[in-house]
């Protein structure tokens, strides 16, 4: 378990863009095919926009066609929380960051091997740290 980060809503608003705040702190969703990481192919580590916790590696990213960055597995020890989400007349599994409780997206059982999972994550909740060239 990683150290928990808690901030006031004012502190989160000061740290995040309006779009990142609306999605990560208020549970919103960015419009499909608009996120900066939807088609990104840079090799690196995707981190939580709120607390910088490493969440996914680029080698687990795949093109799902859903309009959001998709990963077939998180980093080992990424400490994601799964919650039941029954909004919008559906039952889904919401993914949150264990360190800061940021809403990241959802996970579905329609992904590729080896896991069969599709972590559908909002770009505005991620920050890509490219691998260094050394």
Residue-range domain boundaries for the chain: 9-130
- pLDDT < 50 stretches in the chain: none
> What residues act catalytically?
120
pLDDT at 31: 95
pLDDT at 85: 83
Q: Kindly state the helix (H) or strand (E) to which residue 14 belongs, with its residue range.
A: helix 9-15
pLDDT at 108: 94
- CATH architecture designation of domain 9-130: Beta Complex (2.170)
pLDDT at 64: 94
pLDDT at 101: 96
pLDDT at 2: 61
pLDDT at 134: 55
- Concatenating the DSSP letter of every residue in 25-80 gives IT---PPTT-STTTT----EEEEETTT--EEEEGGGEE--SSSS-EES-PPTT--E
pTM value > 0.85: yes
């Amino acid at each position: 378990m990683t150290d928990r980060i808690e901030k006031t809503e004012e502190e989160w608003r000061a740290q995040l863009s309006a779009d990142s705040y609306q999605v990560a702190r208020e549970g919103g969703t960015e419009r499909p095919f608009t996120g900066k990481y939807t088609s990104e192919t840079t090799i690196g580590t995707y981190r939580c926009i709120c607390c910088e916790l490493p969440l996914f590696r680029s080698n687990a990213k795949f093109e799902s066609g859903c309009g959001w960055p998709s990963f077939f597995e998180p980093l080992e020890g990424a400490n994601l929380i799964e919650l039941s989400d029954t909004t919008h007349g559906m039952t889904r599994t919401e993914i949150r960051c264990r360190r800061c409780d940021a809403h990241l997206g959802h996970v579905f059982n329609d992904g590729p091997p080896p896991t069969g999972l599709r972590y559908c994550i909002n770009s505005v909740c991620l920050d890509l740290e490219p691998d260094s060239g050394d």
